[in-house]
Structure 1
Amino acid sequence: MNGFMKKFLFLIILFCALFACIAKATDAEVVDKIVVVVNNEIITQREIDVILSPIYGQYRTTYKGEELIRRLEEARELILKQLIEDRLILSEAKKQNIAVEQKEVDAKINELKKKMGSEGDLENMLNEQNLTLKELSERYKEKIIIRKLIDQKVGAKIIITPLEVKNFYNAHKDEFLQPEEIKLRAILIKPKNEQEGGSVKSLELTRDILKRLKEGCDFEGLAKEYSDGPWAGEGGLMGYVKKGDLLPQIEGIVYNLKEGQTSGIIQSQLGYHIFKVEEKRAPRSKEFSEVRQEIEEYLYREKANEKLKGWISSLAKSAYIEFK
């Protein structure tokens, strides 16, 4: 499985694990049989199918035949593993009487309302899925309980020392290279109605703007007045860009300009462009102070993942797990 598909699958599972109870079921009838029992918790076939459904939708555009079947089976195994781990933690959290206040659940519901657009949109979605707000709240409550226990058993016990951070930086300096960047302003004139000779008029306007720039007119002012680009309101200021950010036919020209220089007219599928290089930054190694927080977060995630795996493994050893 390539990196993109792994990342896609991971994100889908995380999303669906939280919203499994509100995801759309497939049109086919789903038999809600018990697949696994974890202590006093259960995992049903419906849960697995609901999470697998969007993955199937993605995979069938990429894979066919036996390859599709194999990929889906891999996805199903990963989903089931994730659900078992979820139930192990939930079971342990209930043993330890982890408490959740209603206002914490309400906050999550309100976040979802904002994403949906309004309370009415949320109610319509719940009605379509034959779900109640109480059921949704219960699912959120479980997730909050799980997160609290993980924070207690894993997060609170992780320590990142300054020496660890510094040593990581010294050992991975090549990973903290800042590539060459240029600060650009841009004017974009989009072609107008072709039937009225709009393309010719757009080119004539661009030529006139370029002429005025050569005569000393202010690039920022002309961009605000004439540009059709998304940065027109900021005087055409695009900010810093690096290689790969621009269209190839544009990049090859602007990267050869010196600071303060203005390009000629460059045509692309978007229209007619004029660029000005405000500043050029040479490649450099980022200072430790610039990346310290990034390194701390990375080391924390690595330790947290390792500790979480060990803790879940210990829970599994003492748990009752039965596959039906």
Structure 2
Amino acid sequence: MVRSLLIVFLCFFCFLQSLFSQTANDGIAAIVNDKVITFSQVRKQVEPNEAVLRETYQGPELVDRIKEARLSALRALIDRELIIQDFKSKKYAIPDSFIESRIRDIIRTQFDGDRIAFIRTLQANGVSEEQYKQQILEQIIVQAMRMKNVSEPVIISPYQIEKYYHDHISQFFDPPQVKLRIIFLQKTSFKEKRATVDGQIEEYDPAKETATELLSKLQLGADFAELARTYSEGPKRMDGGDLGWVTKDSLRPEIAEAAFSMYPGQTSGVIETVDGYYIIRLEDKRKGKLKPLSELRSQIEGLLIQEQRQKLQQQWLNNLKAKAFIKMF
């Protein structure tokens, strides 16, 4: 009995030593059976996404978003480790020649066949060739195990396709669109002054005066595209102000309200906004329409197959988790 306890204690002591050696200069984020996942691994995994979050959010919301991203990255690393351990427990193997072939492909496609450039890139990222080979091996293992464990064909019935179509009908509705040309003149930073006919002094914006003059020319038959190319300060100036087909939600509210109340061939008045003056011409108009199921059947079937495969993969991962010791810190 004493001997058995001693053996258990020694095993536990060795395990602690292993953990300490792996995390002496780091912290433990999770333990998956006898494998440690460190905080530095999580940070490395989430680094690209975190950089985008820092540019997009700030304050408490940024903190919450980063916490969510790190937790998601940790869960992904746990799933990855479980898959690799399952691969090893089944005594599977990936030939070294397969790894070398994959690396040669990477050097050829990403580094134009320049192995020296490949090595220098690894060194710049603080990764040795052996470490990189291990990364490639683990990627291949995860891909292979996912394919092996969700290999049965997924059959989607016509009823499932039709149900998805009706349940997500709003996704398949093409909204109304208008085809526009636009002239835009930016407001002048400082208004100018002039005397009125009764001798009063008034402020005016030269840009608005120009917009009014352009509108008069258009009403007399001037070519909208030519005036846009000459005077407009807005998008698509060199294309004669042609915005092409646009939906209501892609336009600023003042422009959308005018455009969708006009008829083809009509020119608006001068539309004033916070930043400037717009004149628009409605070239054409399309009503909203629902895409028929016949055009979407293959697309919906693909979506449902993907959803079903993800469910099967999650079931497989859940089974691995149920048999594993997992501790998150």
State if a TM-score over 0.5 links the two structures.
Answer: yes
The alignment's C-alpha RMSD in Å is: 4.4
Alpha-carbon distance in structure 1 between the residues aligned to 2:106 and 2:121? 18
Task: Decide which of 245, 250, 275 is 1:245's aligned counterpart.
Answer: 250
Task: Decide which of 60, 84, 89 is 1:90's aligned counterpart.
Answer: 84
SS in 2 for 1:147: helix
CA contact (8 A) 1:109 1:137 kept: no
Task: Decide which of 137, 143, 150 is 2:139's aligned counterpart.
Answer: 143
Alpha-carbon distance in structure 2 between the residues aligned to 1:181 and 1:31? 59
CA contact (8 A) 1:155 1:304 kept: no
Measured after TM superposition, the shift of residue 280 of structure 1 is 1.9
Match of 2:60 in 1: 63
Alpha-carbon distance in structure 1 between the residues aligned to 2:122 and 2:209? 52
**Aligned pairs for 1:57-206 within 5 A:** 61-63=58-60, 77-93=71-87, 95-98=91-94, 100-102=98-100, 104-105=102-103, 127=124, 130-132=126-128, 135-136=131-132, 138-154=134-150, 157-191=153-187, 200-206=205-211
Q: TM-score, normalised by structure 2?
A: 0.67
Q: Within the alignment, does 1:283 sit opposite 2:264 as a pair?
A: no
SS in 2 for 1:244: helix
Match of 1:227 in 2: 232
Measured after TM superposition, the shift of residue 312 of structure 1 is 0.8
SS in 2 for 1:183: strand
The one-character-per-residue Cα deviations of 1:269-293 (angstroms, maximum 9, x if unpaired) are 4432211112222232221244334
CA contact (8 A) 1:59 1:68 kept: no
Task: Decide which of 198, 212, 227 is 1:207's aligned counterpart.
Answer: 212
Task: Decide which of 273, 285, 297 is 1:268's aligned counterpart.
Answer: 273
The one-character-per-residue Cα deviations of 1:149-190 (angstroms, maximum 9, x if unpaired) are 323433763333455323422454354322222222222233
User: Structure 1 counterpart of 2:176, which letter?
Assistant: E
Q: Within the alignment, does 1:254 sit opposite 2:250 as a pair?
A: no
Measured after TM superposition, the shift of residue 306 of structure 1 is 0.9
User: Structure 1 counterpart of 2:227, which letter?
Assistant: L
Q: Percent identity?
A: 28
The one-character-per-residue Cα deviations of 1:285-317 (angstroms, maximum 9, x if unpaired) are 221244334423431332122111101122334
Alpha-carbon distance in structure 1 between the residues aligned to 2:38 and 2:149? 27
Match of 2:222 in 1: 217
CA contact (8 A) 1:227 1:236 kept: yes
User: Structure 2 counterpart of 1:157, which letter?
Assistant: P
Task: Decide which of 9, 18, 25 is 1:31's aligned counterpart.
Answer: 25
Change over 3 Å in CA distance of 1:104–1:215 after alignment to 2: farther
CA contact (8 A) 1:105 1:141 kept: no
CA contact (8 A) 1:182 1:241 kept: yes
Change over 3 Å in CA distance of 1:59–1:237 after alignment to 2: closer
CA contact (8 A) 2:191 2:205 kept: no
Structure 2 residues without counterparts, runs of 5 or longer: 1-22, 194-203
Count residues with an aligned counterpart.
287
CA contact (8 A) 1:158 1:304 kept: yes
Change over 3 Å in CA distance of 1:272–1:77 after alignment to 2: closer
User: Structure 1 counterpart of 2:155, which letter?
Assistant: I
Change over 3 Å in CA distance of 1:30–1:38 after alignment to 2: closer
Structure 1 residues without counterparts, runs of 5 or longer: 1-28
Alpha-carbon distance in structure 2 between the residues aligned to 1:200 and 1:107? 63
Alpha-carbon distance in structure 1 between the residues aligned to 2:154 and 2:92? 21
SS in 1 for 2:266: coil
CA contact (8 A) 2:99 2:133 kept: no
Alpha-carbon distance in structure 2 between the residues aligned to 1:229 and 1:156? 55
Of the structure 1 ranges 187-196 and 206-215, higher mean CA displacement relative to structure 2 is found in 187-196
SS in 2 for 1:274: strand
Alpha-carbon distance in structure 2 between the residues aligned to 1:204 and 1:102? 71
Change over 3 Å in CA distance of 1:188–1:72 after alignment to 2: closer
